[in-house]
């Protein structure tokens, strides 16, 4: 088994014991083995006190029941003990011999608790599954995978199927921003470990200009020239990028395409039958994240393949504290409510 040369060392796999989470576990175990990494199985249980407080509302006549601190503590312990038992059973069922393993029961909002654990325990990769959600629910509620892709300061692997042992295609999507170097480095390392083909894609979009109905034939020809020039320059930059980051992997295949980024990435992944797509995320937060999103999130919501989302280094340095994330969520909910009610 090939060991990854540029690898993760401390992996957290989040599970809610669902089928979707099973794909994350089936991915995380072989990655940890190939990396020689520590692997933590984590499950998040609700905050009992907060959950009971939310259940205290009657029909205007006051709370139905006021739990004591002892009630909340007892329920919290029961939730934790039940989760610990299920985690131990899960570890026993997996082929984890020889791995440095740990289990962790976290408390609170899943994505906030996971981000806090990442920062406290030095995690350098989070692996999660994802469930299908409607577009409306994604906008107003979101999923743990989406929120982690948006806010987690370390790479997030959204698993849709276990890590394959046979040859696959790894597709790295880059835009030549600083994070592109990290994308290619990780992609080349994964491709080498999987004995897979490495494909590197850059997408540029000139549709709005080139398709404008009012431009002259001369201007259209000029746009055509610049489009051809952009393609040539993009191929050259892809070659230099891979040479600087992935010289030990061998030959990569380069793709330069015009169009809308998330659509081209999806279609290219399907055409190449890619087992893993690696790309960056700007980590947008607040209202713009919910109503605009970014390319990585659009790919996450439409791609039926595993996705590895990587953040810029500066995002890791400036990542917000988990407690701020809760405040941002509450602010968003108030804003959305006033928009549709007021």
DSSP three-state, residue 258: strand
Are 165 and 220 within 8 A, CB to CB?
A: no
Q: What are phi and psi of 266, to 5 degrees?
A: -60, -50
Tell me what pLDDT residue 207 has.
Answer: 55
Tell me what pLDDT residue 134 has.
Answer: 42
Nearest to 198 by CA among 173, 228, 170, 168: 170
Do both 102 and 204 map to the same domain?
no
CA–CA gap between residue 22 and residue 94 (Å, rounded): 11
- Structural domain that includes position 42: 1-163
Do both 146 and 99 map to the same domain?
yes
Range in 4-8, 233-237, 304-308 with the lowest mean pLDDT: 4-8
CA–CA gap between residue 319 and residue 91 (Å, rounded): 31
Q: Which residues are CB-contacts of 166 (< 8 A; sequence separation ≥ 6)?
A: 195
Are 235 and 254 within 8 A, CB to CB?
A: yes
Residue 320 lies in a domain: no
Q: Residue 90: which CATH number?
A: 3.40.50.620
CA–CA gap between residue 228 and residue 143 (Å, rounded): 40
Q: Which residue has the higher pLDDT, 291 or 163?
A: 163
Do both 195 and 129 map to the same domain?
no
Do both 112 and 196 map to the same domain?
no
How many structural domains comprise the chain?
Answer: 2
Do both 158 and 228 map to the same domain?
no
Residue 301 lies in a domain: yes
Residue 334 lies in a domain: no
Do both 238 and 280 map to the same domain?
yes
Residue 333 lies in a domain: no
What confidence category does residue 319 fall into, taking pLDDT thresholds of 50, 70 and 90? very low
pLDDT in tens, 10-67: 999 999 998 888 999 999 998 898 888 999 999 999 887 777 666 555 555 555 566 7
Do both 67 and 124 map to the same domain?
yes
Do both 199 and 69 map to the same domain?
no
Are 166 and 196 within 8 A, CB to CB?
A: no
Do both 142 and 62 map to the same domain?
yes
Average pLDDT, the chain: 78
- Which residues pair with residue 170 across a beta bridge? 198, 276
Are 3 and 35 within 8 A, CB to CB?
A: yes
Are 296 and 280 within 8 A, CB to CB?
A: yes
- Which residues pair with residue 279 across a beta bridge? 309
Residue 138 lies in a domain: yes
Q: Which residues are CB-contacts of 278 (< 8 A; sequence separation ≥ 6)?
A: 170, 171, 172, 173, 183, 186, 187, 190, 307, 308, 310
pLDDT in tens, 238-295: 999 998 885 554 679 999 998 889 999 999 999 999 999 999 987 555 444 443 347 8
In the chain, how many H helices and how many E strands?
14, 10
pLDDT in tens, 193-239: 778 899 999 998 755 444 455 556 666 676 677 778 888 899 999 99
The CA-to-CA distance between both ends of the chain, in Å, stands at 60
């Amino acid at each position: 088994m090939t060991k990854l040369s540029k690898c993760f060392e401390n992996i957290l796999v989040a599970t809610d014991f669902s089928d979707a989470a099973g794909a994350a576990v089936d991915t995380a175990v072989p990655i940890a083995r190939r990396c020689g990494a520590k692997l933590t199985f984590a499950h998040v249980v609700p905050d009992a006190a907060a959950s009971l407080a939310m259940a205290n509302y009657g029909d205007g006549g006051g709370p139905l029941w006021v739990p004591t601190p002892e009630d909340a503590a007892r329920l919290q312990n029961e939730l934790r003990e039940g989760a610990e038992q299920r985690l131990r059973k899960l570890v026993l069922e997996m082929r984890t011999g020889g791995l440095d393993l740990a289990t962790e029961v976290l408390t609170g909002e899943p994505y906030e608790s996971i981000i806090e654990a990442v920062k406290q325990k030095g995690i350098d990769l989070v692996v999660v599954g994802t469930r299908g959600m409607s577009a409306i629910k994604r906008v107003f509620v979101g999923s743990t995978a989406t929120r982690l892709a948006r806010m987690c300061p370390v790479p997030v692997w959204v698993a849709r199927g276990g890590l394959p042992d046979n040859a696959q295609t790894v597709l790295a999507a880059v835009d030549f921003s600083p994070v592109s170097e990290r994308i290619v480095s990780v992609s080349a390392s994964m491709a080498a470990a999987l004995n897979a083909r490495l494909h590197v894609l850059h997408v540029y979009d000139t549709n709005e200009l080139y398709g404008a109905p009012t431009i002259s034939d001369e201007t259209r020809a000029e746009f055509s020239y610049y489009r051809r020039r952009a393609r040539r320059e993009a191929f050259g930059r892809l070659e230099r990028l891979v040479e600087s980051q992935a010289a030990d992997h061998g030959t990569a295949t380069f793709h330069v395409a015009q169009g809308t980024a998330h659509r081209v990435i999806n279609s290219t992944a399907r055409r190449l039958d890619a087992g893993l797509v690696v790309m960056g995320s700007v980590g947008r937060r607040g209202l713009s994240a919910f109503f605009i999103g970014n390319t990585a999130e659009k790919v996450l919501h439409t791609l039926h393949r595993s996705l590895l989302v990587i953040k810029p280094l500066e995002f890791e340095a400036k990542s917000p504290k988990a407690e701020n994330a809760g405040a941002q969520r509450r602010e968003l909910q108030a804003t959305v409510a006033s928009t549709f009610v007021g």
